[in-house]
Amino acid sequence: MLAKIGVLGTAFLISVVALIFSTSSEQQPVFASAKEGHEKLVAEIPCSKDYVSEPFKGCIPSQCKRVVLDHMVTTDEAKSLLLLAKKGLAFGGSDGGASILDLHSGALSKGNSFVDIFKMLGSKFSEVFTKEDFQIYKRVKEKVFQAIINEFNIPHTDLYLTKPTFFSRMTPKPAKTIHDEYWHLHIDKKTYGTFHYTSLLYLTTYGKDFTGGRFTFVDKDKNSTVEPKLGRVSFFTSGSENPHFVEKVSSGERYAITISFTCDPTKAIKIQ
């Protein structure tokens, strides 16, 4: 995730950072390898207390999980979304190693800041991004939404798309601003505030299109790694039970989409 490090308890932060740097990335247990295809992988974990005081009882997790699905999104859908991401990022791109394209807010990395791609393209926007692009995007978003509500037994009227939801490109370029520092350990619910469920759709493959860039969950006794793979969907509860970081990309380009969901209807967003 492209995020500034979340607020963690000092003792916890010290312990997990020590764990990360005492274990080489090559030695970390792999939860989902890029060399394998999985119909479904599920890891159940104890929930944190992050949800206890929240009013969204039909939506907040009663059981927390990490899930990987390799066959839900088709290869053609993933390749189409990769082309969409490349089209958009061609109009900008960070000077550092992490660039984003948000087709909800219009935010596009450019240089050391962000621009509004809607304003930049104006009437040409519909020429760059076609109806078919958005149909595929909506279809894939709906697949992920359905997978999450089914896995966590959430009424479909109680879960909402939220911000930020964005395409990302990570490269080996050195960071120029804090927005390029995607490798920090963080917790989505604390970093973003709106997240209850986080999902990622990978658009390139570890070991083929890039090296480094693996997604790692940090637990008390071990780390657990998801290796990105074209079309792979990974989703998980966004609370303190799932602290994580992304390994620095060492070669190539890593593309993904972060699709985030909330139980709070006041934080919902719509596709433009």
Structure-model confidence comparison of residues 192 and 1, the more confident one: 192
d(CA 41, CA 33): 11
Q: How confident is the model at residue 271 (pLDDT cuts 50, 70, 90)?
A: low
Torsion angles phi and psi, residue 161, rounded to 5 = -65, 140
The secondary element (H helix, E strand) that includes residue 121 is helix 117-121
232 is catalytic: no
Residue 245 domain-assigned (yes or no): yes
d(CA 114, CA 241): 31
Structure-model confidence comparison of residues 32 and 24, the more confident one: 32
pLDDT digits over 128-143, tens only? 999 999 999 999 999 9
187 with 193: CB under 8 angstroms?
A: no
Residues 6+ apart with CB under 8 A from 4: 178, 181, 184, 186, 191
Torsion angles phi and psi, residue 81, rounded to 5 = -70, -30
* pTM, full prediction: 0.90
Residue 169 domain-assigned (yes or no): yes
Residue 3 domain-assigned (yes or no): no
Q: How confident is the model at residue 19 (pLDDT cuts 50, 70, 90)?
A: very low
d(CA 57, CA 217): 26
Q: List the CATH number of the domain containing 90.
A: 2.60.120.620
- Residues paired with residue 198 on neighbouring β-strands, in sequence order: 236, 260
Residue 194, SS3 per DSSP: coil
Residue 126 predicted with pLDDT over 60 = yes
Residue 102 domain-assigned (yes or no): yes
Catalytic residue among 66, 214, 232, 254: 254
Q: How confident is the model at residue 270 (pLDDT cuts 50, 70, 90)?
A: confident
191 with 108: CB under 8 angstroms?
A: no
Residue 85 domain-assigned (yes or no): yes
Where in the sequence is the domain holding 149, given as residue range(s)? 10-267
Q: What is the mean pLDDT of the chain?
A: 91
Radius of gyration from C-alpha coordinates of the chain:
18
pLDDT digits over 157-172, tens only? 999 999 999 999 999 9
pLDDT digits over 200-230, tens only? 999 999 999 999 999 999 999 899 999 999 9
pLDDT digits over 141-198, tens only? 999 999 999 999 999 999 999 999 999 999 999 999 999 999 999 999 999 999 999 9
- Residues paired with residue 257 on neighbouring β-strands, in sequence order: 167, 201
242 with 144: CB under 8 angstroms?
A: no
Residue 60 domain-assigned (yes or no): yes
pLDDT digits over 65-109, tens only? 999 999 999 999 999 999 999 999 999 999 999 999 999 999 999
d(CA 191, CA 258): 14
The region of weakest confidence among 19-23, 123-127, 142-146, 227-231 is 19-23
What region, left, alpha or beta, does residue 253 occupy, with left being phi > 0 and alpha being psi -120 to 50 degrees? beta
Tokens standing for 67? 């899930």
Residues 6+ apart with CB under 8 A from 214: 25, 28, 206, 225, 226, 227, 228, 246, 247
Residue 6 predicted with pLDDT over 50 = no
Mean pLDDT across 259-269: 97
Residues 6+ apart with CB under 8 A from 173: 94, 95, 96, 97, 180
Residue 20: per-residue pLDDT:
44
The angle at the Cα of 259, spanning 254 to 260, to the nearest 5 degrees, equals 130
Helix boundaries (H) for the chain: 10-22, 75-89, 117-121, 125-128, 131-152, 188-192
Residue 5 domain-assigned (yes or no): no
Residue 28: per-residue pLDDT:
73
pLDDT digits over 40-70, tens only? 999 999 999 999 999 999 999 999 999 999 9
Please state the domain count of the chain: 1
The amino acid at residue 93 is G
Structure-model confidence comparison of residues 19 and 148, the more confident one: 148
